[in-house]
Structure 1
Amino acid sequence: MKQEPGCVFCGIVADPSNSDVVWDDESVLAFMDINPVTDGHVLVIPKDHFVGLTDITPETAGRMMTVAQGMAQAMKNSELRCEGVNLFFADGEEAFQEVFHSHLHVFPRFRDDGFMIDAHWSGRSKESLAASAMMIREVLEPPRR
């Protein structure tokens, strides 16, 4: 297992006894966030140390999403207040990543829960969208296997 000295999440992987673990398998660990957006907020992390989204192997990324789906279903089936679920993955400081070990937030949502995304959603011209699509397609690599 790849671990990074001083990484708080690698420390939790090494010794999960001080965390409220809800899932533990060969490649993924899920535990309660200590600063939750809402009650039931879970973090799904790879056991290996990966920093960003593109660092994670496709198999591990897929496993993280599968575990997140299970967490979402469990939240909806539990006594938690859960009228919906958000997934949030921050990749890089500018994207608000604070712990530089890949992690996927899964948290229950309900009306007036206080969570908001303060973004300026605005339309773009067809030309602008086409130009952005071309820039992505020009460097797009097939998924790693």
Structure 2
Amino acid sequence: MKTIVEQIVNREIEAVIVYESKDVIAFADHDPINFGHILICPTYPYESYIALPEQVLLEIQSVARDLYTRIENAFEPDGISFIQNNGQFNELSHYHLHIFPRFCGDKFGWESSDLGVQSIEKLRQSLARL
């Protein structure tokens, strides 16, 4: 079964495409955080960040940099966010990088677990396996 991104690449699903090459496509998120919310994806269905070939990753980063400037100029946001999920949190089963304008009061937020603020020692211990 094709991913949603593959269906967009093959023009089986309509999308507002803002960039496309042989390896990378960028299009408007159909359920945006704010207008200007774009997904940047490889055209091949790599599932995770680590699976991306180096040249595809570099192109995605180049497109993200260009779109950052275009979003900034078009929407004049208070900030710009990037989000990328892997594993069970990648609901498309196809790598995608979200880039979207942020505005004070837009109600988009980060909800942390109940860990709370940690001491430097606890953080050091938690990362010792790296």
Q: CA–CA distance in 2 between the matches of 1:72 and 1:50?
A: 23
Q: CA–CA distance in 2 between the matches of 1:64 and 1:16?
A: 23
Alignment-derived partner of residue 143 in structure 1: none
For residues 110 and 60 of structure 1, do their structure 2 counterparts lie closer, same or farther at Cα, with a shift above 3 Å needed?
Answer: same
Question: 1:25-69: per-residue Cα shift (whole Å, max 9, x none)?
Answer: 221100001000001100000011101111111221221121111
**TM-score, normalised on structure 1?**
0.80
- Two-structure CA RMSD over aligned residues (Å): 1.8
Trace 1:1-145 onto structure 2 (pairs within 5 A): 5-15=1-11, 18-78=14-74, 80-93=75-88, 96-120=89-113, 122-136=116-130
Q: Contact 2:6–2:43 (CA<8 Å) still a contact in 1? A: yes
Shift of 1:114: 1.7
Q: Contact 1:81–1:109 (CA<8 Å) still a contact in 2? A: no
Alignment-derived partner of residue 142 in structure 1: none
Q: CA–CA distance in 2 between the matches of 1:111 and 1:102?
A: 28
Q: Contact 2:7–2:13 (CA<8 Å) still a contact in 1? A: no
Q: CA–CA distance in 2 between the matches of 1:17 and 1:125?
A: 49
Shift of 1:124: 2.5
Unpaired stretches in structure 2, ≥5 consecutive residues: none
Q: Secondary structure of the residue that 2:110 maps to in structure 1?
A: coil
**TM-score, normalised on structure 2?**
0.89
Q: Percent identity?
A: 26
Unpaired stretches in structure 1, ≥5 consecutive residues: 137-145
Q: CA–CA distance in 2 between the matches of 1:30 and 1:57?
A: 17
The size of the alignment, in residue pairs, is 129
